[in-house]
Amino acid sequence: MPRSFFLFAALAISAVSFSNAGGASSAAPLTPYTAFSWAAPWLGKSPHLSPMIWLSDRQEPGIIARQLAALPPGRRVLFIWHAQNQIWGDHDDAVPATAADVAAGTVPAKTTFQSPWLDHGSAAVAAWFGPWLDGVKKSGTAVDFLVTDAEVDLSMWAILPPQVHAIAADPRFGEIAAKYDLRDISAVGKLDHWDVCSAWNTAMASTIAGYFRAAYYAPLKSRFSDAGYTEYADGILPRALAGRCRDVNGWPNWSMGPMFGTHQSPPIYGQVRQLAYPGRNDGTNPDFAKDPLATLAWETSSMRALPLGSSYPIIPWFCPRSWKGDAAGSAALGGTPYWNELVYHSMLAGGCVDCLFWDPKAPPADVMAMNDVLADLQTQTSNSKTLKPLSTDAIPFNATSIVSGVQCEDGHRLFRITVMPGATSATVTLPGETNPRTIAIPIGQVGVWLKVS
């Protein structure tokens, strides 16, 4: 984490099937206006942050149970980092290189590759995780929510042609090929055939998602029926909406269900890579480094698309306020007031009341910034437990102002209006209205709240 591209999980082609494929989550709600944190937050000063309890190396359930029991119901969140260490790489799940690649000298004889079919690895994890959860339950506590951060995939970004050939040669691939119309396997990896590349990426993520669901969510739900589960970057997005969810390099991605678990969890970090290239965004080709609203428009539009694709709830990942990207990209909003605006608009766009906080090295100021934006959001929404998004349109990347709104439980509509640096007003038309309003922006601020009864 952070990932090099925004990849959703999609329809699982496996022997395991589950209900609730297209509907909303049945999980019990988490404590609203809480950021569940990768690292332990400064609990004495940040009531809106709560630590995720790490499970690593298959620790004894009693140890984890004591940590979970110290948290109130609605905050007992279990975190498994790099779950592929448990499910990924079982030798019995590998597929052999094709005879043609061996004969051509492309790969050595007896070469095998990781496949998307994780029957053995998934079964092994389920056989461990179920009894492990029994131990937690016997300790008198519960798991409210599970977060995994496996980030494993067999997308065209991650593998080479011999592995593509090996997977495609497996008899099980026929069903996948028919489902996703994957006929020209030779085009996988060729960016001028993005329709084939994206279909391959979706198909691989789909199959893998089904096995993770069987390994983690099925045992969890059978022990704690109201528990939720999400995997990093999991979500649902129909192909028709793919252009609304371009990744950091500007490629449109699509996905289907079922999910890894119950919640979608897009990473909203504001990091841009090749998205800035001409032809990789919406055609406006903004200067992302100089125009903060370009990044805000991109991330907010992506979030707005998710409620249109399914009714699954969303719990997004956010980075620390001071994070300015990694070696492969830049996050121009880092360290600026627009990070706050990114959180506000994303939460409103997705109807979110909770989030996940990637804060492994966040200084106290960043921790407090996350705490404060959630405290502000709670106040502005009058502590609504649910938020109904009102803004669903795509936002041009060259927008000079951005408006996102929700319907709150007490009936009032809440809007966040954000402008370019130095602007002192914005003329906007709110969703459901026909007449524009001119909103004053106080000097020194980049955004304001507007409540409408």
What φ, ψ does residue 168 adopt, rounded to 5°?
-65, -25
Q: What is the pTM of this model?
A: 0.93
| Span 117-140, average pLDDT | 96
| pLDDT tens per residue across span 167-184 | 999 999 999 999 999 989
Q: Is the pLDDT confidence value at 345 over 90?
A: yes
Q: What percent of the chain has pLDDT over 70?
A: 94
pLDDT band for position 194 (cuts 50, 70, 90):
very high
Residue-level pLDDT at 166: 98
**Contact yes or no for 428/416 (Cβ under 8 A):** no
pLDDT band for position 256 (cuts 50, 70, 90):
confident
Residue-level pLDDT at 277: 94
Residue-level pLDDT at 25: 57
Residue-level pLDDT at 2: 54
Is 440 in a helix, a strand, or coil?
strand
The DSSP H or E segment spanning 77 is strand 77-81
**Residues 141, 145, 150: CA angle, nearest 5 degrees:** 125
pLDDT band for position 331 (cuts 50, 70, 90):
very high
| Span 77-91, average pLDDT | 86
Residue-level pLDDT at 445: 97
Residue-level pLDDT at 43: 62
Residue-level pLDDT at 11: 32
Residue-level pLDDT at 56: 85
Residue-level pLDDT at 1: 64
pLDDT band for position 17 (cuts 50, 70, 90):
very low
Mean pLDDT of the chain: 92
- Higher pLDDT: 45 or 106? It is 106
CA distance 200 to 142: 38
Residue-level pLDDT at 408: 98
Buried b or exposed e, range 263-283, using 16+ CB within 10 angstroms:
bbbbbbbbbbbebbeeebbbe
Residue-level pLDDT at 131: 97
CA distance 75 to 48: 11
The DSSP H or E segment spanning 37 is strand 34-37
Q: Is the pLDDT confidence value at 10 over 50?
A: no
- Domains of the chain: residue spans and CATH: 34-386 (3.20.20)
| Span 87-93, average pLDDT | 91
For residue 37, count CB atoms less than 10 angstroms from its CB and return exposed for 0-12, middle for 13-18, buried for 19 or more. Answer: buried
pLDDT band for position 237 (cuts 50, 70, 90):
very high
| Span 46-70, average pLDDT | 93
Q: 35-49, 57-71, 204-218, 411-425: which has the minimum mean pLDDT?
A: 35-49
CA distance 187 to 77: 42
Across the chain, which distance is largest between two alpha carbons, in Å?
72
| pLDDT tens per residue across span 357-401 | 999 989 999 999 999 999 999 999 999 999 999 999 999 999 999
